[in-house]
Structure 1
Amino acid sequence: MDVLTDLLHRARASTALVRQLIQRPPWSVTYADAPALTVVAVLDGHASIRLEDSETAPVRLAAGDSALVAGTGQYTIADDPGTPRHVTIRGGRKYLPDGKPTEGHGNLAPRTYGDGLPGATIMLRAAYELHGDVSDRLLALLPPLAVVPAGPRTGAALDLLATEVSRDEPGQDAVLNRLLDLVLVLALRAWCAESATLPAWYRALGDPAVGEALRLLHTDPAHRWTVAELAAKAGSSRAAFAARFTALVGEPPLTYLTAWRMTLAADLLRDTEKTVAAVAAEVGYTDAFAFSVAFKRARGASPSIWRRQAR
């Protein structure tokens, strides 16, 4: 399993709330309680998006452009950065600028809201609730606001998603979730291909030997890996492999493996009822005491105490 696929799978970025918005100018929608990751795509017309309480400048989205909003801060989508706030979405309800709730959702079709055509901007917004400590590594790929310009690959996926979003047929949620997975992965790959500020481990994926080693560590993190075995599978000498891995990733292979195991263990402790010994075995420790020592060193608390605090 490649590393990005592993992160997406473990972060459970597989179910999202998707809505189509059709808005005629002037318009402005503020999302007060954003999820960990939001994808906004403009299908027709244009929009601007800005992060509230942030030094990030507003960005303009043209037809076919997508934006990835990482983090749980408040943000606003509007026809123009200067348009005053019209409505705020908080807790699934719509509020006017004076703070009063309104029930006028403008439901135009299944999953479709706004004031209709003509002359409107048509957008898709998908809100992902990512999960656990693994999601931190996924979000580390992104700045608070990343724009992916229109392109043939993302465009084809968005066209198909736009065709399906307003339908209400058996299995429609499954169709939309899989299409959204496609849109998200294509957008992430497009952003990462152009970004100069990616984490070291992601940049290292392009190296034949180190990339293969990272794939192996993510495919089977519980295996009792040694540097010599990783080097052999990557087709390199032990010394050369260890030096290159450390130079590209920023830490030695087994240090990276330990940190990844602790990330997986943290999610298992938070989300399952497995014993500490069972969690230890699942992430590659035959000795629960050794696991507890490693976990406390990484997280500042024993597995049992950390589990209680995390819950």
Structure 2
Amino acid sequence: MDVLSDLLHRARARTSVAHQLIRRPPWSLTYADAPPLAVVATLGGHASIRFEDATPVRLAAGDLALVRGTGRYTVADDPATPPEVEIRAGRKYFLGGTDVVRANQELAPRSYGDGLPGATVLLRGSYELHGDVAERLLEMLPPLAVVPAGPRTRAALDLLAAEVALDEPGQDAVLGRLLDLVLVLALRAWCADAETALPSWYGALADPAIGAALRLLHADPAHPWTVAGLAAKAGMSRAAFSARFTGRVGEPPLTYLTGWRMALGADLLRDTEATVAAVAREVGYENAFAFSVAFKRVRGVSPSTWRRDQD
């Protein structure tokens, strides 16, 4: 499994939700407590996204935006449209002057608006991502990443939009997988942009030797890896491999491995009842003491204290 796929798999969303707005302007939706990651796309018409005290960003038809973080933001037909609906804790709150019937009319399952000619079609999917591994994924993204319309993302968005309006057996499973597809295609397209500032490890994936080493570390983090062993797998000398890995990734091989193990260990401590010793073995340490020393060096607290603080 490649590194991006591994991150996406391990950061699997607890829940993913998709909704569609089909509404003639003017309209405005404010998300007061947004999830860690959302996908916003305009399938017809146009829209703008604005964070508080930031310049609005325009989305043309077919454009897709990845919105990271839990900050407050507004999606509207135009930046000048006054606030109309605020969504907080999963509930809609209608603000003064809102045509409630027009704004909240249910056109189909998960689809709202008036459905009149000239309507904007807005699709939004949200993710509650999971744990410390998710943080590594989210670190790839700025608060707002816009992916211009393209044939591959458009095909996936059209399929997702069609499924959002259905209510058939297995619908939640279908929507979850289609949202994952849209997310992966958007990440690919955004990362392929020459102007995108990517984490060092992502750029290193293009290096055949270093990319192969990263795949090995992610495929089997509990293996007793050594620099010499990784260098042999890459067909390089130990010194040349170590220098090349550090130059491409930004840190030495075993430092990267330790950070990855600590992220996995933190998620296991948070999400399971496994003992510290069991977690230690799962992520490649012979005993709880060795794991605890490494964990405290990286995280600043012992595994037991960290687990208690998550409650």
- Per the normalisation by structure 2, the TM-score is 0.96
Q: Matches of 1:13 and 1:306 in 2, distance apart?
A: 22
1:115 correspondence with 2:114: yes
TM alignment of 1:250-289, pairs within 5 A:
250-289=250-289
1:308 correspondence with 2:304: no
Q: Matches of 1:196 and 1:166 in 2, distance apart?
A: 34
Q: Matches of 2:20 and 2:196 in 1, distance apart?
A: 32
Q: Matches of 1:50 and 1:204 in 2, distance apart?
A: 33
Change (3 A) 1:39 1:91: same
1:153 equivalent in structure 2: 152
Q: Name the aligned partner's letter for residue 43 of structure 2.
A: L
**Which digits, 9 at most, give the CA deviation of each residue in 1:178-234, with x for residues without a partner?**
111110000011001114311111111111111111111001000000111111112
Whether the 8 Å CA contact 1:14–1:178 is kept in 2: the answer is: no
Change (3 A) 1:252 1:99: farther
TM alignment of 1:25-174, pairs within 5 A:
25-53=25-53, 55=54, 57-97=55-95, 105-174=104-173
Q: Name the aligned partner's letter for residue 11 of structure 1.
A: A
Q: Matches of 1:69 and 1:86 in 2, distance apart?
A: 20
Cα distance, 1:51 vs structure 2: 1.4
SS of 1:88's partner is: strand
Q: Name the aligned partner's letter for residue 97 of structure 1.
A: L
2:185 equivalent in structure 1: 186
Cα distance, 1:105 vs structure 2: 2.5
Change (3 A) 1:3 1:203: same
SS of 2:146's partner is: strand
Aligned residues: 308
Cα distance, 1:116 vs structure 2: 1.6
**Which digits, 9 at most, give the CA deviation of each residue in 1:78-100, with x for residues without a partner?**
00111111110111221133599
Cα distance, 1:237 vs structure 2: 1.7
- Per the normalisation by structure 1, the TM-score is 0.96
Q: Matches of 1:105 and 1:83 in 2, distance apart?
A: 17
Whether the 8 Å CA contact 2:45–2:61 is kept in 1: the answer is: yes
1:204 equivalent in structure 2: 204
* Runs of 4+ in structure 1 over 6 Å off: none
User: Which shows bigger deviation, 192-201 or 9-18?
Assistant: 9-18
Change (3 A) 1:159 1:14: farther
Change (3 A) 1:211 1:99: farther
Whether the 8 Å CA contact 1:14–1:177 is kept in 2: the answer is: no
**Which digits, 9 at most, give the CA deviation of each residue in 1:111-153, with x for residues without a partner?**
1011222111001100100011111110011100000000111
Q: Matches of 1:224 and 1:58 in 2, distance apart?
A: 49
Whether the 8 Å CA contact 1:19–1:124 is kept in 2: the answer is: yes
1:224 equivalent in structure 2: 224
Cα distance, 1:14 vs structure 2: 7.1
Unpaired stretches in structure 2, ≥5 consecutive residues: none
SS of 1:206's partner is: coil
SS of 2:121's partner is: strand
SS of 1:201's partner is: helix
Whether the 8 Å CA contact 1:94–1:105 is kept in 2: the answer is: no
Give the fraction of aligned pairs with identical amino acids, expressed as a percent. Answer: 75
Q: Matches of 1:165 and 1:110 in 2, distance apart?
A: 7
Cα distance, 1:52 vs structure 2: 2.1
**Which digits, 9 at most, give the CA deviation of each residue in 1:137-183, with x for residues without a partner?**
10011100000000111111111112211011111111111111110
Unpaired stretches in structure 1, ≥5 consecutive residues: none
Q: Name the aligned partner's letter for residue 128 of structure 2.
A: E
SS of 1:83's partner is: coil
Q: Matches of 1:72 and 1:308 in 2, distance apart?
A: 24
Please give the root-mean-square deviation of Cα atoms over the aligned residues, in Å. Answer: 1.6
User: Which shows bigger deviation, 6-15 or 39-48?
Assistant: 6-15
